[in-house]
Structure 1
Amino acid sequence: MTVPILQQIFDDAYHRDPYPTYARLRAEGGVHPVALPDGSPVWLVTTEAEVRAGLTNPLLSVNKDHAGPGFKGFSLPPALDANLLNIDAPDHLRLRRLVSKEFTPRRVENLGAKVRQTCEALARRLHDDITTNGAADLVADLAAPLPLAVVGDLLGVPEQDRGPFASWVGAMLEPKSPGDVAAAVAHIHDYLLHLIALRRRAPDGNLISGLISVRDEQDRLSENELLSLAFLILMAGIDNTQHVISGGVLTLLQHPEQLDALRADPRLLPEAVEELLRHATPNHTAIRRFPTTDVEIGGTVVPAGDTVLLCLASAHRDPTRYPDPDRFDIGRQDKAHLALGHGLHYCLGAPLARLQIRVALDVITRTFPGLALSLPAEELPWRRSFRSHALKQLPVTLGTCS
């Protein structure tokens, strides 16, 4: 077999704006051998048809046991690694059925009033910071703390524990020095053990209590599965949601005619959320996959064990799937997207994510009619990651505030 030449695509231009790189790759073909920033080889799938097919291909496993020697992915402790993102059918279906019994639409619906209350309180803090300092960071003041508070409510984290809890999550998502991630993971692991023990002694009706009941009464969730599910809900429920909110606000500010339409008719909010998930999804690739046997993708044979990354963000800008795909349009008729997954691994928390994004955009657009960037868009700081295109900060100011 001829070893493919790896493309080096993750340069400064990519991190500023990855979409021109995706457009070039799509024009050259549906799948490409590229080198990740650490030098490890992956196959990047870029066209919508192949990405969508890959998300449901049973030959592409999420189980790291099928990874070849070239895989250098981050490893969690075993107690946190037995989550839905790393498990194939049939175990995935068993876990998903159990979680679905507790992570219900009614539970999400019951969070609605609290989500709005929390968001409005954070909006007042944002307003106060802008008034005091002339500008403020929408990420730090609203987009990041909102999902953290919501997940804290969902899991039943006591108020007095939320400060340390927030600091550990922040250190894991945005480490400032070597060792921060490992230390944060250890703290979170220990805290989740404490929280599960607490809720076993004193159930409170929140999700952790429900999951404990599923395990203890039916003996179908192992302790590691319970811990891993709590960890997955924590990480998936915070990081992606905050970046959709901040990226969504930026996108609306850059498209004032769309923002005006949304303010004029708030009934468009659900449509706006779907178009934002298509146009500005921060999570650019799905969880890595490993072929269990040699598999053909887009006319290219990918060897068993190689790492495959399905590029959701590129799929969303594929002109063979979406007319004028680079245009942001909340009135677009076909806004179907893959931002929340497809098939077996469709996001279990999708209703909660949509709820938070919708409420946040509603509160922000109503409360801050004069909201504007406080520095040029090209100077905004972005996370340097091949996995996501996410704002580190969104400095804003305002003209008038209701």
Structure 2
Amino acid sequence: MSSTSATSSTGLPQPFGKAHFIDPYPTYARLRAAAPVHRIALPDGSPVWLVTREADVRAGLTDPRLSVNKAHSGTGYRGFALPPALDANLLNIDPADHLRLRRLVSQGFTPRRVEGLRRRVQEAADRLADGLAATFTAGHHADIVTDFANPLPLVVIGDLFDVPEPDRKPFSAWVSTMFAPEHPGQVPEAIDRIHRFLLALIAARRAEPGDDLLSALIAARDEGDRLSEDELLSLAFLILMAGSENAQHLISGGLLTLLRHPGQLAELRADPALLPGAVEELLRYAHPNQMAIRRFPTEPVEIGGVRIPPGETVLLCLASAHRDPDRYPDPDRFDIHRRDKAHLALGQGLHYCLGAPLARMEIAIALETLMHRFPDLELAVPASTLRWRASFRSHALRELPVTGQPRTGASR
């Protein structure tokens, strides 16, 4: 463990200081070089085992002895506190029930349904880009986080769930408050409002089905089985969380990465066919999720030569794995031409993200729209002054001020 690490009240090292939140990768490099597994304390003092090397993280993601079910926590782990009706989702369920739910949910994420969203995603991106263009034309800089990256995924979720237009603004406000509250007391209230809203929306879709994801999930059957009310509710909440926050941060973080690599940005503008590969490299290099969802050993497990007792909390560090030099040549280099673009950003095995095709499409449309509409887009402030969220779980920008001018006749 680096000498720069603090020590928690439990006596365990606490490596996540202020500098880590700005640039976490030096922390992971030190930890990874020192040992494959570390016993550390999280900022709240909770003890965890942190797994840092790619081979161990990849193996851990598919190890059946590492349960995602909090019932196997022997240390009283709670994490993000949710009402029970919202907590019974795919991220907290082990194989038997997980496979059953996954078969049912996959009926709502058909390729036809995902591809059918392409036009609506593009229209939403174009509308938001129009707003940026007006801001630039008025002589002001814009904040990509607030003005583009945050609202775009919520428009997509609103379309997926067919949220009525008058309800979209308060719905978006509750989601934003849940992820970025001004004070912690706002989070339970925001979750409660979302909970009640989703209950009412599900009831409305059951009474009058439409051509939306919730209606498809309500109708989904598998050999006579169907989703229960709590399963519907928790899955809707999971789709909301996974489909908004990750996409928001990857759009803003992905754009920042491209702006800091102008040569590769120019290549993408000249040849949009390079964009799918660039998205994969961004998922490796700049994915906001630092950790996979916590795991709890159901029996003693050896990882990297370290024996971890059952019931302990294990964090598989995706951000460290994606910068492991034993897995990726020159891993700290962003390279849209990287030949091996395999990554763990969207999960592995049983917990591979069902919404992966939608996430890839959304990010590609967002970045291509910004590149096309604003050929001279650039940071409005020095990169060193950008503010980041103080979170060890998610490396995410608080804002991304940019300037630029719209391309003449750019609307599509």
Instruction: State the TM-score bracket (shorter-chain normalisation).
Output: over 0.9
Task: Name 1:284's counterpart in structure 2.
Answer: 290
Alignment match of 2:258 (pick from 252, 261, 274): 252
Task: Name 2:369's counterpart in structure 1.
Answer: 363
For structure 1, list consecutive stretches of 5 or more residues without a partner in the other structure. none
Alignment match of 1:141 (pick from 121, 144, 147): 147
TM-score by length of 2: 0.95
For structure 2, list consecutive stretches of 5 or more residues without a partner in the other structure. 1-9
Alignment match of 2:191 (pick from 153, 177, 185): 185
Task: Name 1:96's counterpart in structure 2.
Answer: 102
Asked if the contact 1:15–1:384 (Cα under 8 Å) also holds between the matched residues in 2, the reply is: yes
Task: Name 1:395's counterpart in structure 2.
Answer: 401
Q: C-alpha distance in 1, partners of 2:88/2:215?
A: 19
Q: C-alpha distance in 2, partners of 1:275/1:216?
A: 36
Query: Shift in Å at residue 221 of structure 1?
Result: 1.2
Task: Name 2:177's counterpart in structure 1.
Answer: 171
Alignment match of 1:61 (pick from 67, 72, 77): 67
Within a 5 Å distance, the mapping from 1:2-401 to structure 2 comes to 6-214=12-220, 218-399=224-405, 401=407
Q: C-alpha distance in 1, partners of 2:73/2:136?
A: 49
Q: What secondary structure sits across from 2:14 in the alignment?
A: coil
Query: Shift in Å at residue 287 of structure 1?
Result: 0.5
Q: C-alpha distance in 2, partners of 1:39/1:219?
A: 42
Asked if the contact 2:75–2:313 (Cα under 8 Å) also holds between the matched residues in 1, the reply is: no
Query: Shift in Å at residue 216 of structure 1?
Result: 11
Q: C-alpha distance in 1, partners of 2:133/2:398?
A: 20
Q: What secondary structure sits across from 2:50 in the alignment?
A: strand
Asked if the contact 1:5–1:33 (Cα under 8 Å) also holds between the matched residues in 2, the reply is: no
Query: Shift in Å at residue 350 of structure 1?
Result: 0.4
Asked if the contact 1:143–1:243 (Cα under 8 Å) also holds between the matched residues in 2, the reply is: yes
Letter in 1 for 2:303: I
Asked if the contact 2:253–2:286 (Cα under 8 Å) also holds between the matched residues in 1, the reply is: yes
Q: C-alpha distance in 2, partners of 1:12/1:197?
A: 45
Query: Shift in Å at residue 218 of structure 1?
Result: 3.8
* Distance verdict in 2 for CA 1:103–1:293, change over 3 Å: same
Q: What secondary structure sits across from 1:34 in the alignment?
A: strand
Asked if the contact 2:301–2:309 (Cα under 8 Å) also holds between the matched residues in 1, the reply is: yes
Letter in 2 for 1:143: A
Q: C-alpha distance in 1, partners of 2:211/2:122?
A: 21
Q: C-alpha distance in 2, partners of 1:168/1:91?
A: 30
Matched length: 399
Asked if the contact 1:319–1:325 (Cα under 8 Å) also holds between the matched residues in 2, the reply is: yes
Asked if the contact 2:133–2:405 (Cα under 8 Å) also holds between the matched residues in 1, the reply is: no
Q: Deviations over 1:234-267 (max 9, x none)?
A: 1100000011110000000000011011111000
Query: Shift in Å at residue 217 of structure 1?
Result: 10
Query: Shift in Å at residue 398 of structure 1?
Result: 1.1
Q: Deviations over 1:129-173 (max 9, x none)?
A: 233352010111111111000011011111111011001101100
Q: What secondary structure sits across from 1:351 in the alignment?
A: helix
Q: C-alpha distance in 1, partners of 2:102/2:76?
A: 30
Worse-matched range after superposition: 80-89 or 70-79: 70-79
CA RMSD of superposed structures (Å) = 1.4
Asked if the contact 1:40–1:70 (Cα under 8 Å) also holds between the matched residues in 2, the reply is: no
Asked if the contact 1:70–1:306 (Cα under 8 Å) also holds between the matched residues in 2, the reply is: no
Letter in 1 for 2:154: L
Worse-matched range after superposition: 142-151 or 131-140: 131-140
Percent identical among aligned pairs is 65
* Distance verdict in 2 for CA 1:263–1:56, change over 3 Å: same
Letter in 2 for 1:44: L
Query: Shift in Å at residue 197 of structure 1?
Result: 0.7
Q: C-alpha distance in 1, partners of 2:266/2:154?
A: 29
Query: Shift in Å at residue 215 of structure 1?
Result: 6.2
* Distance verdict in 2 for CA 1:103–1:294, change over 3 Å: same
Q: C-alpha distance in 1, partners of 2:332/2:374?
A: 27
Q: C-alpha distance in 2, partners of 1:208/1:10?
A: 39
Worse-matched range after superposition: 208-217 or 223-232: 208-217
Query: Shift in Å at residue 329 of structure 1?
Result: 0.4
* Distance verdict in 2 for CA 1:399–1:101, change over 3 Å: closer
Asked if the contact 1:79–1:225 (Cα under 8 Å) also holds between the matched residues in 2, the reply is: yes
Asked if the contact 1:47–1:314 (Cα under 8 Å) also holds between the matched residues in 2, the reply is: yes
